[in-house]
Chain A
Amino acid sequence: MEDRNKGGQGRVAVSELTGAGVVLLTTFLASSVEAIEMVIIVLGVGATRGWRSALIGAATGFALLAVIVAILGAALASIPIGPLRVVVGALLLLFGLQWYRKGIARVAARGLAGMSEQDVQDSDVPLHGMDWVAFVLSFKGVLLEGLEIALIVVSFGLAAGQLGLSVVGAAAAVVVIGASGFALKGFVTRIPRSLLQLIVGTLLTSFGTFWSLEGLGVSWPQSDLDIVALLVVYGLAAATYIELERRRTHRARLEVA
């Protein structure tokens, strides 16, 4: 009965909620999920159509993403922290629930399998100059997968009061996954992306729930400790649903047989 709106409190109070390690880990993992797809596309295009145009396309995509992050960050930073936490929390909750649901369905269906290589057409590769097909494929791959990273990084970073760290976590993920992809052939496709998606979905859903309700003025019974409680509850629910999905699939196969 004690709920009072705390939305007007400053950014310092919010930054106390989420430590640097949590911000780095969450944005690193969230960005890794999309970076895997991004790296697979660029590697596939580079291997089949040539590296120069593929890498220029990827670099152009990253440059545009940096501009988008800067504009989005500046626009959202001007919103007062109370309404920002409601909007960003709701956004993270809705997006997090999508990954949470997809992660459950995919882990139940495929376990810890990685992602398969993308089929990339390798016909009509020009011998000299820029290969615009490779450029556009890489550019689109980086931009489309990166846009989701940008939205997560900016919203999560601002809500946690640590946008800089959030960007560092995302950049580190792209560098690590990218370098691993180039150095170790086949490594990226073996990363259990479904499990990673489920873990990040659980993290984003938990933080989204916590921040959106705090923004609305809800007082959590154990304050910040309730983020851990939310992680445990959503995690247990995911494990239960995975088991139920596997049983349902097993029953369906038996009926067909």
Chain B
Amino acid sequence: MVFSGAVGVGRFLYRFIVGDDWTVAVVMLLALAATGVLVAHRISAWWLVPPLAIVTTGISLRRSGRQHEAAGHRLRR
């Protein structure tokens, strides 16, 4: 009972934070880590995260679109 509850909470948090494309979350966490390293070396790093967020979103949308198209082709065959 406790174990299944913990699994349920874990699943909710994964879905809430990571969602259906884990690559976006990984790229953004790496971008934040890289920003932290640059700041520690006194390098201005406000420009790193926003473009990466936009590019990663674009790649994720494209991949998701292709998967939908591939699924559509399979269904029609």
Contact = CB atoms under 8 A, between A and B. Distances in A.
Contact of A216 (B17, B24, B36): B36
Given A90-B29, A220-B46, A205 B16 contact: no
A218 B42 CA distance: 9
Given A98-B19, A212-B49, 7 more contacts: A2-B42, A3-B38, A93-B53, A94-B17, A213-B32, A213-B46, A245-B65
Interface of A: 1-5, 86, 90-91, 93-95, 97-98, 100-101, 104-105, 144, 147-148, 151, 205, 209, 212-213, 216-221, 226, 230, 233-234, 237, 241, 244-245, 248-249, 252, 256
B50 A95 contact: no
Contact of B54 (A4, A144, A212, A237): A237
A71 to B, nearest CB: 13
B46 A218 contact: yes
Question: At the interface, is chain B mostly helix, strand, loop or mixed?
Answer: helix
B44 A3 contact: yes
Contacts of A252: 69, 72
Contacts of B7: none
Contacts of B53: 93, 97, 205, 209, 234
Contact of A209 (B16, B20, B49, B65): B49
Given A93-B53, A95-B16, A1 B61 contact: no
A234 B50 contact: yes
Contact of A219 (B46, B54, B60): B46
Contacts of A151: 16
Nearest to B49: A209
A218 B39 contact: yes
